[in-house]
Structure 1
Amino acid sequence: MTKDNKPLYSLIVDELKAQISSGVYKPEDQLPTEAELSARYGVSRITTRRALEELERDGFIYRVKGSGSFVKSISRAQAENRTDGTGKMISLILPSEDDRGTMGYIRGASDWLNANGYYLSVHQSDYDSQKERDLLETLTRSGIAAIILYPRNDQTNYDILHRLCLDEYPIVTIDKYFDSLPLGAVVSDNFGGAYKSVSRLIELGHRKIAFLSAVSIESTSSVRDRYFGYCKALKDHGIPVDSRYIQLNMKAVREEIGVDKFYAQLLDSYRSEGVTAVQTENDLIAANLLNRCLDAGIRVPADISIIGFDNNPVTQHVIVPLTTVEQHFYEIGRRAAEIVVNWLERGKTAPGRVLVPVELVERGTAGAAPE
């Protein structure tokens, strides 16, 4: 055991996995023998044997009696999968099963796969890039036929995703896309949704319209597209984009100064600048903003209008039902499943970026601008 109570064999496993992932050991390369690993790490052969067994179990290597251990290629894993009868399994990787829209994605993919002779396995990355990476490595090397990936963001794990593209492994992303990778994606029309909702606010007489997001637009394609849709709607209606009304990456600011102070400063700035409407990144932010406004004596929508995004169930259970942009999560899951199966059965690779339409759902938080 190590100082932090981690088994010694697991350290060897982690290091060899990292070397396989980074290309130090390439597909079909032979790994060092048990004896060589024992000498390298200063451990017993029992420990190195356990490490190699774990690597084999996780699908990173295969072992040939009398010859040694070899790095398993994805093509070999898929061939084994077809012969052992599990070649009909598709894996869905999600940041969390409690995330908004998650059940829609699962039902959409599962219903389509079950109707077409396939099965769905669901896995969580827990918003952890390393765990997401481990799942991508383990699932592809264990012979899973295809993957539907909801990425934590569009900035991490480029190397493994690029390698899967080169290997022509059937994989498609949902919710987010990668501009610089030839990966297929099924996403909502985030740009069009924000454009539609901000245009509606302008129709209602609003001119000073804020934008509020928890993350930076650099980290997440979906938020970036919503922000760009917000900007385009303003520009097309002759309204300048004013940085005083835009708060990006508010999560970092809240953590730095505290939640109460953040919202106090935000609402003070809205009052002083004369902001009469806010387009938020999602419904949870919109609901929090709504509650803070009401607590501060700001009437919604009489003093300020708020529009969310997603049509999360929370939208109908707050004090004032939220106006929002509805995403069709079921359809996204269904389309993603259809794409990977077409890839598997007909050799048709993912068709670039598929946009699923969204709808503006008008409820009680958006009204005419105050005179």
Structure 2
Amino acid sequence: MKTDKRPMYQLIVDDFKEKIRKGEISGEEPVPSQIELAKVYGTSEITSRRALTELANEGLIYRVRGKGSFISEEYAGRAGTTEPKINTIYLVYQFVPLELFNHGFFGDLLRGLHEKCEKNQVAFRLWDLGEKGGLPPESDRSGWVLLPLAMETEHVSADIVARWKEEKRRFVTVHFYFPHLQIPYVIVDNMTGGYLATQHLLSIGHRRIGIVLTGNSPIEINQEFSLRLQGYKLALSQYNIQFDPSLVVVIEGAKEEFESGAQGFDRLMDLDQPPTAVFLTSDIKAIGALQAAERRGLNVPEDVSLVGYDDLSVSSFVHPRLTSVNQNTYLVGKRAVELLLESVSEETGGFSKDEIVPSLIVRDSTAERIP
């Protein structure tokens, strides 16, 4: 009597996985056909066909017309071992103060990296290039997740990254990328983030919306802020609202500070026709704007709506609670580990890249605009 409650097709799938793991099934010979499987497991061809379909959907096997089904190279290479191809993943960075990892962006990234590594029984380590004086120990069992190597100075050069690639180092980049080098990367879709923030304000009736960025000028801002500005402009265009340069304020500085948000907010409010809503491209600036609004005797969101970016932990506790864009960097971390474990390389015909879509978290700092 059958006591296992799993469906028969699932029993076949799980049995196949175990045989692949033990090396009992070779990747060179075709796997049994659905007719052969039905006979081996004493079941119907409908069930055996379902099992083969599930194996194909999971990427364990692939089909060749006229020849049959074969074990995928990735899984054939694991036969006879229970150990992962990579046993240690390093988050490699430089000139990033450790306290910055308390920031929501980096904290969530670390959590995603660590949890995905733990799930796959892979060790996870931080590696500061400056402090360690060089790269992690060279090993064919390790991989890197490479952060921008400088936050307020220059990034690692393309030449250095190209050399690492020539050395056959296994790594992915997060938060930046070099398209011409075809190195796997994961980034956040900042343009969509800027669009979501602006579209939300438009959807609740605001038509005069300011934006506050950090940089030296509208031209000299970093890539993240530039993309958020593009998203802002795209949302306006989709609502047939003409872009007004006077509503774009760039506050000079290299770091996000409360005072930057306050200055940007004050400059917008001093206009002859001030905006009814402001998109501040970081929560730090948005909190500064909240403070500036209070000093001016303005109520948020009754007099002016505010949207931030980053969804810091504190943003859900300030008064009013801040509407913000969460960058979903937890998913960035998880996906970076997945790319490393997949080991996608030039030999497989390409490289993997991923853009994580952010989410808008609506709270109390935005309200419908009554004409």
Aligning the two structures, in what range does the TM-score lie when normalised by the shorter sequence?
0.5 to 0.7
Equivalent position amino acid for 2:116 in 1 = W
- 1:252-302 CA-to-partner distances (Å, cap 9, x unmatched) read 6999xx949x84574143242321111121212111111121122122112
Separation (CA, whole Å) in 1 of partners of 2:156 and 2:301: 42
Q: Is the contact made by 2:86 and 2:143 (CA closer than 8 Å) also made in structure 1?
A: no
Separation (CA, whole Å) in 1 of partners of 2:246 and 2:295: 23
Separation (CA, whole Å) in 2 of partners of 1:268 and 1:276: 13
User: 2:87 is matched with which residue?
Assistant: 88
Q: TM-score under structure 2 normalisation? A: 0.65
Separation (CA, whole Å) in 2 of partners of 1:92 and 1:347: 25
Map 1:224-303 to 2 at 5 A: 224-251=226-253, 259=259, 263=262, 266-272=265-271, 273-303=273-303
Unaligned runs of 5+ in 1: 1-84, 126-130
User: 2:107 is matched with which residue?
Assistant: 103
From 145, 154, 162, give the equivalent of 2:142.
145
Task: Indicate the SS of the match to 2:233.
Answer: helix
Q: Is the contact made by 2:323 and 2:366 (CA closer than 8 Å) also made in structure 1?
A: yes
- 1:103-141 CA-to-partner distances (Å, cap 9, x unmatched) read 32222212222222321111357xxxxx39x76x42265
User: 1:365 is matched with which residue?
Assistant: 365
| 1:140/1:178 CA distance change after superposition, 3 Å | farther
Give the drift of 1:309.
Answer: 1.5
User: 2:68 is matched with which residue?
Assistant: none
- 1:168-220 CA-to-partner distances (Å, cap 9, x unmatched) read 42221223334554332212222112212211211222122111122467563
Task: Indicate the SS of the match to 2:186.
Answer: strand
Q: Is the contact made by 2:199 and 2:235 (CA closer than 8 Å) also made in structure 1?
A: yes
Equivalent position amino acid for 2:249 in 1 = Q
Map 1:159-174 to 2 at 5 A: 159-174=159-174
Q: Is the contact made by 2:214 and 2:250 (CA closer than 8 Å) also made in structure 1?
A: yes
Q: Is the contact made by 1:183 and 1:350 (CA closer than 8 Å) also made in structure 2?
A: no
| 1:268/1:284 CA distance change after superposition, 3 Å | closer
Q: Which moved more, 1:358-367 or 1:244-253?
A: 244-253
- 1:206-243 CA-to-partner distances (Å, cap 9, x unmatched) read 12211112246756333222121111111221122222
Separation (CA, whole Å) in 2 of partners of 1:178 and 1:286: 31
Task: Indicate the SS of the match to 1:292.
Answer: helix
User: 1:193 is matched with which residue?
Assistant: 193
Task: Indicate the SS of the match to 2:192.
Answer: helix
Q: Is the contact made by 2:309 and 2:326 (CA closer than 8 Å) also made in structure 1?
A: yes
Map 1:1-371 to 2 at 5 A: 88-94=87-93, 95=96, 96-124=100-128, 131=130, 137-139=134-136, 145-151=142-148, 152=150, 156-158=155-157, 159-179=159-179, 181-215=181-215, 220-251=222-253, 259=259, 263=262, 266-272=265-271, 273-343=273-343, 351-369=351-369, 371=371
Q: Is the contact made by 1:276 and 1:370 (CA closer than 8 Å) also made in structure 2?
A: no
Equivalent position amino acid for 1:319 in 2 = H
- 1:146-186 CA-to-partner distances (Å, cap 9, x unmatched) read 21122145952112122223334222122333455433221
Task: Indicate the SS of the match to 2:302.
Answer: coil
| 1:246/1:219 CA distance change after superposition, 3 Å | closer
| 1:208/1:90 CA distance change after superposition, 3 Å | same
| 1:259/1:316 CA distance change after superposition, 3 Å | closer
| 1:265/1:237 CA distance change after superposition, 3 Å | closer
Unaligned runs of 5+ in 2: 1-83
Separation (CA, whole Å) in 1 of partners of 2:256 and 2:340: 40
Separation (CA, whole Å) in 2 of partners of 1:346 and 1:162: 14
Q: Which moved more, 1:327-336 or 1:181-190?
A: 181-190
Equivalent position amino acid for 2:127 in 1 = H
Q: Is the contact made by 2:212 and 2:264 (CA closer than 8 Å) also made in structure 1?
A: no
Separation (CA, whole Å) in 2 of partners of 1:300 and 1:287: 11
Task: Indicate the SS of the match to 2:136.
Answer: helix
Equivalent position amino acid for 2:104 in 1 = R
Task: Indicate the SS of the match to 2:198.
Answer: helix
RMSD of aligned Cα (Å): 3.4
Task: Indicate the SS of the match to 2:231.
Answer: helix
Q: Is the contact made by 1:323 and 1:366 (CA closer than 8 Å) also made in structure 2?
A: yes
User: 2:45 is matched with which residue?
Assistant: none
Give the drift of 1:249.
Answer: 4.7
Q: TM-score under structure 1 normalisation? A: 0.65
> Bigger radius of gyration, 1 or 2?
2
Separation (CA, whole Å) in 2 of partners of 1:226 and 1:264: 19
Q: Percent identity?
A: 23
Give the drift of 1:354.
Answer: 0.5
Which structure shows the higher helix fraction? 1
User: 2:36 is matched with which residue?
Assistant: none
Equivalent position amino acid for 1:282 in 2 = S
Give the drift of 1:370.
Answer: 5.5
Equivalent position amino acid for 1:98 in 2 = N
Separation (CA, whole Å) in 2 of partners of 1:214 and 1:207: 23
Equivalent position amino acid for 1:356 in 2 = I
Separation (CA, whole Å) in 1 of partners of 2:345 and 2:328: 26
Give the drift of 1:334.
Answer: 0.8
